[in-house]
């Protein structure tokens, strides 16, 4: 009867947990965790009853048909084991803590039957094993109940989502080229569902673009991580004390290339706000030999390298790289300077943008 009541309560709880209202805008998902907590106490009770029965039963019970009893108990063990495994697997698949808890509760029936089986076998040989087996089974049952109890309490007290899930969320967010970094990330569970909140720094200064990026990130997280109900993304434009410029170079590493995607090298220079040079480097273009889409791939590569301004002799307007770079908030300057030395000189003077504007 207790098993029927427990299963019925779980079924009702699952139905209730799916409801939302103005009072509970985030849903009643934690009802499943409350039910799991109740099931944990039922499991503790089952363990207590086994020990109590083993140590307080009076007299000696004689069974005339021990082989028949053993067969019956074996069938009970097999049936309850198979069903509990099936229910546990399904509970894990859909992420339902109450179904997982019920599977563990049914498993206690299997362990109880196992204790009876060992007792019957011992009695057939004239050996009293009831108490020893009862203690062992009680420990196993107590362990199962404790795991459910701890998991339920963690969710009810808004403990963090497991670190594996949070690391996966962070990996998805950082795979977006326009995300500079993830400042903070939180997560909590409610029933089978997860709620994620994070703060990111974006290489974008346009509010509409930042909002669009956050929506795209949210969709990816929900696609790749199961049972995510709600994601809240706070986005902030990245505050910089320096700017990174980049320009395509020819094979001699001096002349500014007239091509963008085909350029064999790219020059990077990092300038402080007072135009002091912090860093200079030349990196080979990893996509120069690509047959298709090299310009777009180079644009994404520059974004990942933290470039703020691209200087190019080739006009990029209307081309794939232009949309990739401008969408990330990267400024594009078309220049007539032919060598990187010339560009570097005007950059240090702080005159590049002014001169190119005057020429236009």
Say if residues 223 and 60 touch (Cβ distance below 8 Å). no
The residue with tokens 């032919």 is 338
The reported pLDDT for the residue numbered 66 is: 66
Query: Closest by alpha carbon to 235, among 263, 264, 205, 262?
Result: 205
Band (174; pLDDT cuts 50, 70, 90): very high
Query: Closest by alpha carbon to 305, among 249, 259, 246, 237?
Result: 246
Determine which of 23-37, 122-136, 157-171 has the lowest per-residue pLDDT on average: 122-136
pLDDT digits (tens, 9 = 90+) for 204-232: 767 788 888 899 999 999 999 988 988 99
CA 82 to chain centre: 31
Q: Where on the phi/psi map is residue 253: left (φ > 0), alpha (ψ -120 to 50), or beta? A: left
Q: What are phi and psi of 151, to 5 degrees?
A: -60, -40
Of the chain, the end-to-end C-alpha distance in Å amounts to 86
Take residue 209 and report the two structure tokens written for it.
Answer: 């673009």
The reported pLDDT for the residue numbered 357 is: 42
Question: Which domains does the chain show, CATH number per domain?
Answer: 2-156 (1.20.1510.10), 163-237 (3.30.70.1350), 242-359 (3.30.420.130)
d(CA 32, CA 34): 5
Task: With a cut of 50, say whether residue 134 has pLDDT above it.
Answer: yes
Q: Is 315 exposed, middle or buried (0-12, 13-18, 19+ CB in 10 A)?
A: exposed
Q: Where on the phi/psi map is residue 27: left (φ > 0), alpha (ψ -120 to 50), or beta? A: left
Whole-number mean pLDDT of the chain? 84
The reported pLDDT for the residue numbered 166 is: 92
């Amino acid at each position: 009867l207790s098993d029927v009541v427990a299963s019925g309560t779980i079924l009702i709880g699952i139905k209730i947990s799916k409801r939302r209202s103005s009072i509970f805008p985030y849903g009643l998902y934690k009802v499943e965790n409350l039910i799991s907590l109740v099931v944990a106490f039922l499991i503790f009770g089952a363990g207590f009853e086994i020990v109590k029965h083993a140590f307080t039963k009076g007299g000696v019970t004689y069974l005339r048909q021990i082989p028949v009893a053993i067969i019956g108990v074996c069938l009970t063990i097999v049936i309850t084991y198979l069903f509990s495994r099936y229910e546990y697997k399904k509970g894990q698949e859909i992420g339902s803590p109450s179904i997982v808890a019920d599977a563990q509760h049914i498993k206690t029936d299997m362990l109880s039957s196992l204790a009876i089986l060992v007792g019957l076998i011992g009695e057939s040989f004239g050996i009293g094993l009831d108490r020893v087996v009862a203690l062992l089974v009680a420990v196993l049952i107590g362990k199962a109940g404790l795991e459910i109890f701890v998991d339920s309490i963690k969710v009810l007290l808004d403990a963090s989502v497991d670190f594996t899930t949070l690391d996966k969320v962070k990996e998805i967010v950082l795979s977006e080229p326009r995300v500079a970094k993830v400042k903070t990330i939180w997560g909590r569970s409610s029933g089978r569902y997860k709620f994620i909140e994070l703060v990111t720094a974006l290489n974008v200064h346009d509010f509409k673009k930042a909002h669009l990026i956050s929506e795209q990130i949210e969709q990816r997280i929900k696609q790749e991580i199961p049972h995510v109900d709600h994601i809240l993304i706070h986005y902030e434009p990245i505050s910089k004390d320096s700017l990174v410029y980049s320009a395509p170079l020819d094979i001699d590493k001096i002349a500014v290339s007239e091509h963008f995607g085909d350029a064999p090298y790219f020059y990077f220079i990092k300038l402080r706000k007072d135009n002091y040079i912090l860093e200079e480097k030349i990196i080979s273009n990893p996509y120069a030999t690509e047959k298709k889409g090299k310009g777009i791939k180079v644009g994404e590569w520059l974004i990942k390298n933290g470039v703020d301004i691209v200087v190019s002799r080739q006009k990029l307007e209307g081309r794939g790289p232009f949309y990739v770079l401008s969408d990330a908030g990267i400024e594009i300057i078309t220049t007539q300077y032919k060598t990187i030395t010339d560009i570097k000189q005007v950059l240090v003077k702080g005159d590049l943008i002014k001169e190119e504007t005057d020429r236009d």
